[in-house]
Structure 1
Amino acid sequence: MKSDRTVANNTLSFQKLLSNSSDFQTSDLTAGERQYRLYYLDTMIEFAIVRDHIIQPLLVHKDVSVRQAVPILHVIETELLAEATMALMEGKTIVQVEGEATLYLFGTAMNKERSINIPVNERVLRGSNEALIENLDTNLNLMRKLIATPDLVVRYYRIGRRSNTKIAILYLKSIVNEDIVKELDRRLVSIDIDYIEAPGFIQELMDEKSFSLFPQMLVTERPDRVRSYLMDGKVAILTNGSPDGLILPVSFWAFFQSPDDYQINWLLGSTFRILRIFCFIIAISLPGAYVAMVTFDPRILPFEIALTLQSSMQFIAMPAVLEAVSMLLILEILREATIRLPSPIGQTIGVVGGIVIGTVVVQSNLVSNTMVVVVAFTGIASFIIPSYEMSSAARLLPYPFIFMSAILGLIGLELAYLFVLAHLSRLHMMGVPYFYTGLNGGSMRDTLIRAPIWRLRTRAKESLTNNKVRIRNPRGWEK
């Protein structure tokens, strides 16, 4: 639908397109022989900008065109009412001259956003202290500053019939695999939904295995981490209104990497990474192993440890499987209560609740001392995982391990491991194997361990990039 030459008719059209919203306003002014009408949403514009940079120049420069009269602000010309309506919702002010069909769109949006702050969920000891915020333009500005190359490509999308959420994908053209970009484009364009709540909606709508507990995209709030993955040939998704970015494709091992690993000695970085993987194994299987050994196979334990377990369970009437499940549920309740309550109260509940409940259940002979230690160690092991999504998976996986161990003992524990490994081996994201790359030759240099920087000469295999070399002469001074 095109614009009318009469401002009164256009006003009626805008009111209809905006469902007679009360914040849609118009202002008229006359300069010489010309009559102007301004259209805007008063909840979206900065009135000072409209007054100083649009109204006053139009009143002063009476004999020139609108574009010439207002040279400071960026202006777009259109005759399409749909495009103009979208501009209104973005905070633009529309100027029309009576008798002309052209609509002039000026950027006058009100900028109310929080300042760039330190990362909250991905704190590191060394490295950048800047975090992404909810404003997409600000986030793109951060990324442009960190990656000062014309090779950085930004592509916009609009998703959501009603929310019309603005999304940007970022990649380095000379490094990225074009097939991955095409597949990502196909999936984003095919999303037909009223609104999206990023990044959770995008993850679920694009995951290849919808019923997998394991995250298939990496979520981060750190611009420096987004930069490092872009340099590896991956693609980032940033969404307006969300302080988190999505990285894809990634492997299972990426969720155990931390920016700290690359800021310290490679031996320490490798040690901490192996520790995280080891803690993940403990977090998912330690309660199950305890149930299997107590219920079926206590003889495999050293005699002194077996006696200790027997003495701690002597007056416990509850089966080991119920002990493990009930204590894990109590741990989850305490964890959720700590997160949802205000910070001062939440910390008190976490400490006092854990001490009181742990003491009471042991003294009342509901659970054994050893089970309290096992569950506490399991909870702490899950906290060490840098990714919240992978940590959440580690919180749910112990339950099938416990039930398999309660039924079949250590054989059940081994079967549970087999099912998890088979599931991980079948996972793919954008055609990239999820689990295989970390165990394949040179890729182990930056998955299970963190090799010295001068050994990381090639990019990660899951990026499927043709530009594999990223370090050419790292220690040229040794010649």
Structure 2
Amino acid sequence: MKPSSSIEATEYYFKQLFADQGDFQSKQLIIGGKEYILFYFDTLIDSSLVQEFILSPLLLRPQDAVRDVVSILDYTETDQLNEAGEAMIFGKVVLIRNGESTLYVLGVDLKKERSINIPTKERVLRGSNEAFIENIDTNINLMRKLINSTDFIVKTYTLGRLSQTKVAVMYIKSIANATIIEELDRRLQSIDIDYVESPGFVDELIREKKFSMFPQLLVTERPDRARAYLMEGKVVIGSAGSPDTIIIPVSFWSFFHSSDDYQISWPLGSVFRILRICCFFIAIGLPAFYVAVNDFNPQLLPINFVNTLQSSVKHVAFPPIAEALSMMIMLEILREATIRLASPIGQTIGVVGGIVIGTVVVQSNLVSNTMVIITALTGLASFIMPSYEMSSAVRLLSYPALLLASWLGLLGLAFFFMMICIHLCQMHTMGFPYFTPPFSFGDAKDTLFRAPIWSLRKRPAGTAPSNRTRLSHPRSWKR
């Protein structure tokens, strides 16, 4: 709808449109014999910016054109009333002058955001101490400071019919695969939803395997980690209102990588990475293995160990499957309690609750000593993974593994891991394989272990980057 040259008609339109809005304001001014009206939401604008960059210049030069007087960068003109109304919701001021049909949209929105702080969910021993915040523009600023190149591309989308959430897609043009960018653009453009709350919404709306428990997008709050993946040809997605960004496409092995791996010597980084992969199998299969060897296959263990195991469960009232399930559920309850409560109370509940419950259930002959040790080791193995999403998936997968082991013994556990492997091999992210077994040295040297930096001459082939060459002559100083 186009505005009328009558200032009263335009004022009537906006007052009718925002009649129920308690913070909507209109201010009428007479400057140099000309009538002006400002429309705005007083909770969204910075009044000092209005005074300094709009009103003061108009008072000094009332006869000049508005575009020549207003000294503000975020300046646009429109002849559509609905566009001006939507702009006000984003913190803009709409200025009209009597006798003109042009609407001047001026950006003076109030900036309220927390300061850039240290990462709280991805703490590392070495590396950057900056973390993303809820303001998407600040997050883009952090990334542009880390990547000073014209090849660094930022595309913005507006998702959510009601929320109008700003989503930013970032990638390196000379490295990223164009097919991935096109496919991601197609999926984002097809999203039709009322509101987008966080990158988790985008994750579920663009992922391929809707019912898989394995995470298909990597979540990070660290700008330096996001930059590292951008340099491998991946894409980073951030949204307004969330300090988390998501990285696509990623492989199964990406969830075992930590920023610390590249800040320490490569032998240590390799050992820690292999340890995390081993803990993946421990967290899923250790309780199931305990039940299997206790009920089905005790002959697989040394006789001394079998005697110790049998003596520990001799007076226990429940079968091994009930032991394992009760202790694993108790571990989940303690974990949720420590997360949801305030930090000092949560830490106390975690320590005291673990000690008290562990001691009482053993003394009451409800659970064996061995089961308490296995539960503790299983929990620690799941927490060692750098990705919270993968850690949660591992804990959930341990339950079906436990049930199959209680039914078929070690055969059931082997069948479960075979089904997991088949499922992973069938998965794709953005059209690229999610799980590629690292059978060759070239595939394994930055997946199963961390090879020296000077040997990582090629970028990972999993996402088919347009430029695979990372290093040409890394040690040219040596002759």
TM-score, normalisation: structure 2: 0.98
Rounded to whole Å, the distance in 2 between the matches of 1:7 and 1:148 is 47
Bigger mean CA deviation after superposition, 450-459 or 81-90: 81-90
Rounded to whole Å, the distance in 1 between the matches of 2:214 and 2:260 is 23
Contact 2:54 2:71 in 1 (8 A): no
Counterpart amino acid of residue 291 in structure 2? V
Counterpart amino acid of residue 347 in structure 1? Q
Bigger mean CA deviation after superposition, 51-60 or 398-407: 51-60
Task: Name the structure 1 match of 2:111.
Answer: 111
- Per-residue CA deviations over 1:14-41 (Å, capped at 9, x if unaligned) read 3444463121111111111311111111
Task: Name the structure 2 match of 1:88.
Answer: 88
Alignment size in residue pairs: 479
Task: Name the structure 1 match of 2:315.
Answer: 315
Secondary structure in structure 2 of the residue aligned to 1:219: strand
Contact 1:437 1:462 in 2 (8 A): no
Task: Name the structure 2 match of 1:133.
Answer: 133
Task: Name the structure 1 match of 2:162.
Answer: 162
Task: Name the structure 1 match of 2:74.
Answer: 74
Counterpart amino acid of residue 100 in structure 2? E
- Per-residue CA deviations over 1:274-296 (Å, capped at 9, x if unaligned) read 00111111001000000000010
Secondary structure in structure 2 of the residue aligned to 1:247: strand
Task: Name the structure 2 match of 1:207.
Answer: 207
Contact 2:288 2:398 in 1 (8 A): yes
Task: Name the structure 2 match of 1:339.
Answer: 339
Task: Name the structure 1 match of 2:299.
Answer: 299
Unpaired runs of 5+ residues, structure 2, are none
Counterpart amino acid of residue 434 in structure 1? Y
Task: Name the structure 1 match of 2:191.
Answer: 191
TM-fit CA distance, 1:71? 2.2
Contact 1:158 1:167 in 2 (8 A): yes
Rounded to whole Å, the distance in 2 between the matches of 1:406 and 1:270 is 35
Rounded to whole Å, the distance in 2 between the matches of 1:72 and 1:327 is 63
Rounded to whole Å, the distance in 2 between the matches of 1:34 and 1:427 is 66
Rounded to whole Å, the distance in 1 between the matches of 2:419 and 2:18 is 54
Counterpart amino acid of residue 67 in structure 1? R
Unpaired runs of 5+ residues, structure 1, are none
- 2:247 aligned with 1:247: yes
Secondary structure in structure 1 of the residue aligned to 2:133: coil
Bigger mean CA deviation after superposition, 213-222 or 56-65: 56-65
TM-fit CA distance, 1:299? 1.0
Rounded to whole Å, the distance in 1 between the matches of 2:73 and 2:150 is 25
Rounded to whole Å, the distance in 1 between the matches of 2:255 and 2:197 is 22
Task: Name the structure 1 match of 2:432.
Answer: 432
Task: Name the structure 2 match of 1:365.
Answer: 365
Task: Name the structure 1 match of 2:51.
Answer: 51
Contact 1:253 1:438 in 2 (8 A): no
Task: Name the structure 2 match of 1:123.
Answer: 123
TM-fit CA distance, 1:51? 1.3
Rounded to whole Å, the distance in 2 between the matches of 1:59 and 1:437 is 71
Rounded to whole Å, the distance in 1 between the matches of 2:18 and 2:448 is 55
TM-fit CA distance, 1:8? 2.4
Bigger mean CA deviation after superposition, 68-77 or 242-251: 68-77
Task: Name the structure 2 match of 1:181.
Answer: 181
State the Cα RMSD in Å. 1.1
- 2:35 aligned with 1:35: yes
Task: Name the structure 1 match of 2:328.
Answer: 328
Rounded to whole Å, the distance in 2 between the matches of 1:4 and 1:172 is 46
Task: Name the structure 2 match of 1:148.
Answer: 148
Distance 1:156 1:17, change over 3 A: farther
Rounded to whole Å, the distance in 2 between the matches of 1:19 and 1:428 is 50
Secondary structure in structure 2 of the residue aligned to 1:476: coil
Distance 1:41 1:426, change over 3 A: same
Rounded to whole Å, the distance in 1 between the matches of 2:174 and 2:439 is 27
Contact 1:437 1:461 in 2 (8 A): no
Secondary structure in structure 2 of the residue aligned to 1:446: coil
Task: Name the structure 1 match of 2:97.
Answer: 97
Counterpart amino acid of residue 295 in structure 1? D
Secondary structure in structure 1 of the residue aligned to 2:241: coil
Contact 1:53 1:73 in 2 (8 A): no
Bigger mean CA deviation after superposition, 81-90 or 318-327: 81-90
- Per-residue CA deviations over 1:302-345 (Å, capped at 9, x if unaligned) read 01100000100001120101110110000000000000011111
- Per-residue CA deviations over 1:345-385 (Å, capped at 9, x if unaligned) read 11111011111110111000001000000000000011100
TM-fit CA distance, 1:81? 2.0
TM-fit CA distance, 1:86? 2.3
Bigger mean CA deviation after superposition, 352-361 or 15-24: 15-24
TM-fit CA distance, 1:439? 4.2
Bigger mean CA deviation after superposition, 455-464 or 368-377: 455-464
Counterpart amino acid of residue 368 in structure 1? S
Rounded to whole Å, the distance in 2 between the matches of 1:348 and 1:284 is 27
Distance 1:172 1:399, change over 3 A: same
- Per-residue CA deviations over 1:41-70 (Å, capped at 9, x if unaligned) read 111001111112111211121111111111
Secondary structure in structure 2 of the residue aligned to 1:20: coil
Distance 1:73 1:27, change over 3 A: farther
Task: Name the structure 2 match of 1:260.
Answer: 260
Counterpart amino acid of residue 450 in structure 1? R
Counterpart amino acid of residue 86 in structure 1? E
Distance 1:125 1:46, change over 3 A: same
Secondary structure in structure 2 of the residue aligned to 1:214: coil
Rounded to whole Å, the distance in 2 between the matches of 1:220 and 1:229 is 11
Contact 2:130 2:223 in 1 (8 A): yes
Distance 1:234 1:122, change over 3 A: same
Secondary structure in structure 2 of the residue aligned to 1:5: coil
Secondary structure in structure 1 of the residue aligned to 2:445: helix
Rounded to whole Å, the distance in 1 between the matches of 2:15 and 2:125 is 54
Counterpart amino acid of residue 235 in structure 1? V
TM-fit CA distance, 1:437? 5.8
Secondary structure in structure 2 of the residue aligned to 1:168: strand
- Per-residue CA deviations over 1:139-171 (Å, capped at 9, x if unaligned) read 000011000101111111111111111101001
